[in-house]
């Protein structure tokens, strides 16, 4: 019985490790403050932000994933969007090409590491 419990515990821990890599952190304030710590980021699926975060994101951390952020729901490249990998501590002080995105993001999708360019 202890052996089976150890196997189940190992499987749960392995699943948790995979899940942790398939999430990003999105935040309503600069410097990664007031965040949804484990926002989903699964295999290019579009994630539309709920009312608590829609047009309110000021910082984020993609945790190494490359993600595309959109100013409209639906992740359509017919609307304004940008791509980023890693931490963005302050969208109101974003680097060139990413300025003007504070409190503007409505949806995002992330690219799995094996697909990254």
pLDDT in tens, 59-115: 999 999 999 999 999 999 999 999 999 999 999 998 888 889 999 999 999 987 765
> Which residues are bridge partners to 27 per DSSP?
35, 59
pLDDT of 12 above 50: no
Residue labelled with tokens 């999105």: 26
pTM (predicted TM-score) = 0.78
Note the pLDDT of residue 97. 82
Note the pLDDT of residue 9. 41
How far apart (Å, rounded) are the C-alpha atoms in residues 97 and 28? 21
Say if CB 88 and CB 20 are below 8 A apart: no
Domains assigned to the chain: 2-115 (2.60.20.10)
> Which residues are bridge partners to 109 per DSSP?
68
Note the pLDDT of residue 86. 95
Note the pLDDT of residue 89. 96
Note the pLDDT of residue 58. 97
Note the pLDDT of residue 117. 52
Q: How confident is the model over 22-36, as a mean pLDDT?
A: 94
Per DSSP, 54 falls in state T
- Show the tokens assigned to 53: 């975060």
């Amino acid at each position: 019985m202890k052996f089976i419990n150890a196997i189940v515990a190992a499987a749960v821990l392995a699943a948790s490790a995979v899940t942790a890599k398939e999430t990003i952190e999105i935040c309503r304030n600069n410097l990664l403050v007031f965040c949804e710590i484990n926002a989903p980021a699964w295999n290019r699926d579009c994630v539309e932000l709920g009312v608590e975060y829609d047009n309110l994101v000021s910082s984020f951390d993609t945790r190494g994933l490359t993600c595309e952020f959109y100013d409209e729901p639906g992740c359509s490249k017919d609307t304004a969007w940008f791509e980023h990998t890693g931490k963005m501590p302050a969208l109101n002080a974003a680097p060139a090409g990413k300025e003007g995105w504070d409190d503007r993001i409505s949806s995002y999708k992330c690219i799995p590491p094996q697909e990254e360019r």
